[in-house]
Structure formats: C-alpha cells, structure tokens
Structure 1
Amino acid sequence: MIIDAHQHFWNLEKVAYPWLDPSYGSICRSFEADELEPLIRKAGINKTVIVQAMNSYEDTEYMLKVAVEREWVGAVVGWVPLNIPEVAAKKLQAYAANSYFKGVRHLIHEEKDPDWVIRDSVIEGLKILSSFGLTFDIVGVFPNHLKHIPYLAEQIPDLRMVIDHFAKPPIKEKQMGAWADQFAAAAQYPNVYAKVSGLNTAADWLTWNSEDLRPYIDYALTHFGADRLMFGSDWPVANLAGDFEKVWEQSNQAIADYSEHERAAILGGTAAKFYGIQAES
C-alpha cells in the first residue's frame, strides 16, 4: 500500500485561513479533492492523510467530510485546543469516535511564543491526546521547535509523534550543523517519527532535485531507520517549488538505492502503522 502521509485541502469559501494571504502566490486559492485525485492515481498512491491547515474546528470538520466522500483518504489529522486541556478532552471524546480521525496538529510555527509547545497546559493537553491513543504531528520549523522534541518525548513517552518536513532543514544552504544535532537527538526516542515531506520548499525553489534532498533523507534513515520514516507530498504547499509530480518523482529517485523493505516502509508501511490505515479488502 502506497500512502501520501501529508497533504492538505482548503476551501477559502467554507473555512477561514488567515495565514494564507496573497504573499503565498499560486497557492492562495482553494485546493480540493477533485484536483488531487488524478495526481495520486497517476502516481499509484492508494491512500492519503489529510493534515490540518488551520487551528479550527471548521477545518477539521471539513477534512472529515472529505474523508467520507473519498475512498482514498485513509486518515485525518485534525485540531483541538491542546492548551485548554479540559476543552481538548471533550472534543477528543467526540472526534475519537470517528474512524478517520487519527491525530492532532497545531500550527505551532504560527505562535508568537517559540516555546508554546512545552507550556504546562499544552503538555497536559498532549497527555490527554496520548490517553486516546491518537498521534501528534509536530509542524516545527528549525531552529525554534525541533529542540523541544526530546523534552516532549520524555514527558509523554506513550505519545507517538511525527516531525513534519524534517522540521525544515537548511537544504538551500546545503548545511547540516545544529539541525542535524537536534534531529539526531529527537531520533533517540522510539515514539518519535519523521516525515519525508516539505523538503522541496526548504531547498532552492527553482533548481532543487533529488540530489539536494538525498543527504538529508540519508541522514534521517541513519538515525530513524525506515520504519520511522514516511513520505508526504505536502501538496498543495509543494506547488510553491514545483508540483506534485516533481515531488513524487524526485523523492522516489532520492531513495532509489534503498532496499526494497526501506522503500516500502517510507512509501507506505510506516504511515499505515503510525496512523492505523487499513488496506482495502
């Protein structure tokens, strides 16, 4: 089973996305399932994971509605107010009854406080999330958030977490440095996973290819192993630096020399286990 473990939808007429302003150019419009479907069909992708794009119930409800309508949606990563634990608990009680709702994400990189995710109230909210057996997508952006992951892993060892987009390493600068140290530190915790996603927009938007991505994916493989890595297109954000097809092709090229098991894990096996996605019978 091939899985795109990180894609988005947004309908600007149905849900407000204040962060998505005209400065985002080509992606400042609605993107919905009809546009993605032929792309994943062509790539041979069986299932996708829709990931929240706004800290709102409206966005979550919209994604859950799409999941019911499209048989190729395997999971939804929604949102609850983790910093208000009592409210989060009530909402998770309701959402957990939905078979598509597999985890939560919060746009922590949009928070003014770079330490938001390690606030006591958020830690409490994450403990509640863990109690439901749900996952946490960490949309951290280096250098502000990656360093917090070991603390989270120690405070909530039963919470399965995944680092979206490798926390945006300095690919454009062709550097490793402090990012590599922090990424390796996070990898030491078995409940922490990482997504091979969003790397194209961390590279040079005009010239990137698989050779730019490979050193970072190789580094992730060394420290996480393939069974804790999963591919995601990050569509339609990916369109800022190419398109779905280029991300799919170049990502596959970057891992072409990996073993059959490693490729199978990265391209679907890990995501299926992490999010509890079942293959069609």
Structure 2
Amino acid sequence: MVVSSPNPNPNSEWLAQVVEDPLLPELEIVDAHHHLWDRSGFRYLLEEYADDIGFSGRNVVASVFVQCRSMYRQHGAEEMKPVGEVEFVRGVAAQANSGYYGKTSVSAAIVGGANLLLGSKVATVLDAMQEAGGGLFKGVRTPVAAHAEDVIRSNPVPVPEGLMLTKEFIAGAEQLVQRDLLLDLWVYQSQLHEVTQLARALPSLRIVINHAGGPLGVGTYSINRERHFSEWRVALSELANCPNVSIKLGGFGMPIMGFEFSKKPMPPSSKELAQHIAPYINVCIELFGHERCMFESNFPVDKGSYSYGVLWNAFCRVSEHWSAHERDLVFQGTARSIYQIKRG
C-alpha cells in the first residue's frame, strides 16, 4: 500500500550536528510507540531502528509497534489486507529476539490496523490478527485524526470527521472489549470531547491516547497559542476523568504541533527540546498521573525534527524532579502494564 506522509523525512547530516551523551543511561525504557516501514525513498525497518537505539546509548529493553499501513497483504479481501502488517511485525519481533540487532525486544507488543468502521464484522479481522500476532497482538488503531483545516494534517490518508461516534465504530470497538484488546487513538485536541464520549459509552474499553492528545500549533492554532493550550488542557482534563484512558507523551516533532524544529539551521538540543515540551508533559502528568502516562518516540516520524538520543535526554530532563518510582512508571512501567509486556 503506497502512502504519502505529510511529515518531513529525516536528514542525517542535519541531525548529526547535535550529538549528546545519554543521560541516565542505565534507565530502562519501553518505547511505547514507533513504526516500521519500507516506503518509496524512506526505509525504516529493524536495522534502522536498532541503529537509532544503539547510537543513542539508551537502555531500550522493549518497544511497541503501532500501525502505519506497512506490508499489507497484496491479495485477498480488502478488510483482511492489514493482517499482513501484523504478520510482518511478528516476524520482525522474532528477528529482534535473535540478539543480532541488540538486546531490545523490538515490537514486544503490536497494535494493528483493523478498520473498526466494519462494525461487528471486524470480528473476523481481529481473530485473524490475534492468530497472526502469536500473543504479541494487543489492540488496534483505526485512523480517525481529522480537522476541517487543510493545513492540519498528520494522517497520510485523510479521513472525515466524526468517525468515533458512529454506530459502526462503536460496534467495532465493542469487539475489542470482547477480546480484551485495547484501542490506540491518534486525535487532535479538537476531537478530545469525542474520545470522552466514547470512553464513557464503553467504560470497559481500554483507550490509549497518542501524542499527548494532539495539541495543535498551525493554522488558526498558531494565533494566540496560550488560549489554544488552555482549551487543550480543559478538554484533556475532562478525558482524564475516564479511568479507562491512558496517554502517550511524545509526537512533538510533527509539524502540526507548531514547533518548526525541522525548519531551523540546527536540530534542538535536549535542553531546548525539554523547554518546549515540558509544559505539555507536565499537564498530562498532572491530569493522568504517572501510572497512566508513558513516553513514546514516535520514530521515524519525529526523526525529521530531532534524534532518538536527544529526545530521550529531553525526557530525562523533564522528569528530573520526579521520584525514581514515578520516572520508572513513565519510562517503562505504564507501557508494560497497558500492553502486557513481560520482563525478560
């Protein structure tokens, strides 16, 4: 399946201008969100991801793969083609467990791309994904990020607004509940109220919000950013009252966040990056608590804005005043619990 990303591709020479030694190098990390793909002119598979981890000097012990329309089946029913992605990633996980690419259990959990708009008919797809995942398959992400402004786009394949509250989507989500599978959601701040309604309608559905709840900084959101930050906080506060919802902290390298790191002569240092992202992370921690927050790299998407090592150093800086237990939760404990990743 050919997709076109609205995010900038990485520039290795530009990134090489800022190299840092790892802070807290022994700290265990479960990268709660990354992708693997082989797209035209942009290859990011196990070797590339392992290189980023190794060069960063970070102690990444496991990772969570999240759907990105990668390696779909070429033939068969349309709704079954995403099963190929789960098959592919399970193979990558086995490849990583050989130890040849480092010690990281890459793709220790898999979030596939089943289309919940199939309603109850998605059951067949979910069953096939569970079989293909061999125990690693933990849930799905159906792309729903949508906004009326054309400049606000992070979804390679644009979708209409309002999908989460359709009867078809809810019926599909009920199939996840029946199988104890979770739902990853990438939404913009303007859609958080819809997620709250979904979370209340299906209190047994485990929901994981991606990328800090989608704060925006482009288009109309680039004007009076303090007001939009406040609106994001209010909407996120309402969602945080739903105990079945947790949140990933990351995704700040995407252009729609409005930081424009990729347009600068040099990439940010971890100190500079931490200054930009700390207000968002601190709000998420305040609202959800450390036990419902987890750090994510969102690589290779965010690699267009900063290196893997700089990102995790920035996370270390933001968390420097947390207790050891609080830091352990957000760096690895919450992700292990949510995605049921065992040690060793």
TM-score of the two chains, using structure 1 as the length reference: 0.88
8 Å contact from structure 2 (residues 140, 183) kept in 1:
yes
Counterpart for residue 215 of structure 1: 279
Deviates more, 1:202-211 or 1:149-158: 202-211
Distance in structure 1 (CA, Å) of the matches to 2:159 and 2:291: 34
Structure 2 unmatched ranges of 5 or more:
1-27, 71-81, 98-104, 146-154
How many residues end up aligned between the 2 structures? 265
Instruction: Determine if the alignment matches structure 1 residue 100 to structure 2 residue 136.
Output: yes
Q: What are the residue-to-residue correspondences of 1:4-153 with 2, within 5 Å? A: 4-12=31-39, 29-41=42-54, 42-54=57-69, 56-71=82-97, 72-73=105-106, 74-97=108-131, 98-109=134-145, 110=155, 111-143=158-190, 145-153=191-199
1:206-249 deviation line (CA, Å, top 9, x unaligned) = 45510111111111111100000001100101112112111111
Amino acid paired to 1:45? V
Structure 1 segments, 4+ long, off by >4 Å, are: 171-174
- 2:178 maps to a residue whose letter is S
- Looking at structure 1, the residues matched to 217 and 325 of structure 2 have their Cα atoms a distance apart, in angstroms, of 26
Aligned residues of 2:189 and 2:235 also touching (Cα < 8 A) = no
Q: Is 1:137–1:163's contact at 8 Å kept on the other side of the alignment?
A: yes
CA RMSD across the alignment: 1.8
State the AA in 1 paired with 2:123: A
- Structure 1 residues 171 and 218, CA gap change in structure 2 (3 angstroms): farther
**How much identity, in percent, do the aligned residues show?**
26
* Structure 1 CA distance for aligned equivalents of residues 213 and 305 of structure 2: 17
Map of 2:100 onto structure 1 = none
1:21 maps to which residue?
A: none
Verify: 1:168 aligned to 2:182, yes or no.
Answer: no
Q: Larger radius of gyration, structure 1 or 2?
A: 2
> Of the candidates 260, 267, 275, which is equivalent to residue 331 of structure 2?
267
- Give yes or no for contact 1:49–1:76 (8 Å, CA) kept in 2: yes
Give unpaired runs (5+ residues) of structure 1.
14-27
